[in-house]
Structure 1
Amino acid sequence: MGILRDEAPGRAEMEMMARQALGRLPPQFREHLGDVVVRVEEFPTREQLASVGLDDRWDLSGLYEGVPLSERSIWSPSEMPPIVTLFRQPLIREWRETGVRFGDLVTHVVVHEIGHHFGFTDETMHLLEDGEEF
């Protein structure tokens, strides 16, 4: 799904795109996403930026916050559900600068952040995106 107009999508439209991206994941992944919350915010907070070692609020387009499935234990259940947050303004800027279809950009960020839910590292996700075996 791509935005074909010059006007930026609103939060509700971005949330819909994110949910559609999740719905296109293979079933073996979708069945483990029941407790994941997806939300859209305008910008990351200072705390969110600090958690990934960034200072500039324009540099973060998405964030996974939670305990990856690979680190969960029945002996220490997580109190809060995992959250994938998309940051609207940084995504809009990237869309305008790159010309990538907006829906494709949202899908890329959602899939990347969901990868963290499954315990994938950034390096592993890049290998998967490039079609390489690891």
Structure 2
Amino acid sequence: MSLAWATRQAPSLDEMTALAEAAFARLPAAFRALCEGVVIQVADFPTDEVLDEMELESPFDLLGLFQGLGLAQDEAVAPTGRLPNMIWLYRRPILDYWAEHEETLGSIVTHVLVHEIGHHVGLSDDDMAEIERHAS
């Protein structure tokens, strides 16, 4: 048995951000092009306001979130004074999910990222699964 894990720590916010950036870079170019202007952020947990708005019982119930206007809605709203579209990845819930499942951390981050981007562009679950398959 390897003791390599004896000194390992959970990824920091910066390390999780780097993991998300690497996952985004592996997504198909045409898919990434749909995300122009979308800001990807990593936080430990969703805010209390998000938890209340989504009526979640625990901050561990949400792995990621798209905030903003999807592409279909985007054309109908004037951009003046509007915040950028954002994708939030929540480090602690993702790590908790990782600890309870057999998937790699990278595949979980990719899944959450694709799912949240999918909300931005209006993709079906089948479309998102296909994009994930190409990003692996």
Structure 2: where are the runs of 5+ without partners?
131-136
2:100 — aligned with what?
Answer: 97
Structure 1: where are the runs of 5+ without partners?
none
Distance in 2 between residues matched to 1:42 and 1:130, nearest whole Å: 26
1:20 — aligned with what?
Answer: 22
2:53 — aligned with what?
Answer: 51
Q: Give me the TM-score of the superposition, normalised by structure 2.
A: 0.80
Between the two proteins, the alignment pairs up a number of residues equal to 124
After superposition, what is the alpha-carbon deviation per residue over 1:20-42, rounded to whole angstroms, capped at 9, x for unaligned? Answer: 12112222221122211111111
Larger Rg: 2
Q: What RMSD over aligned residues (CA atoms) do the two structures have, in Å? A: 2.1
What fraction of aligned residue pairs are identical, expressed as a percent? 37
Q: Give me the TM-score of the superposition, normalised by structure 1.
A: 0.81
Aligned pairs (5 A) from 1:1-134: 5=5, 7-73=9-75, 76-77=78-79, 79-120=82-123, 124-125=124-125, 127-129=126-128
Shift of 1:47: 1.5
Distance in 1 between residues matched to 2:128 and 2:69, nearest whole Å: 23
The structure richer in helix per residue is 2
Shift of 1:73: 1.4
SS of corresponding position for 2:30? helix
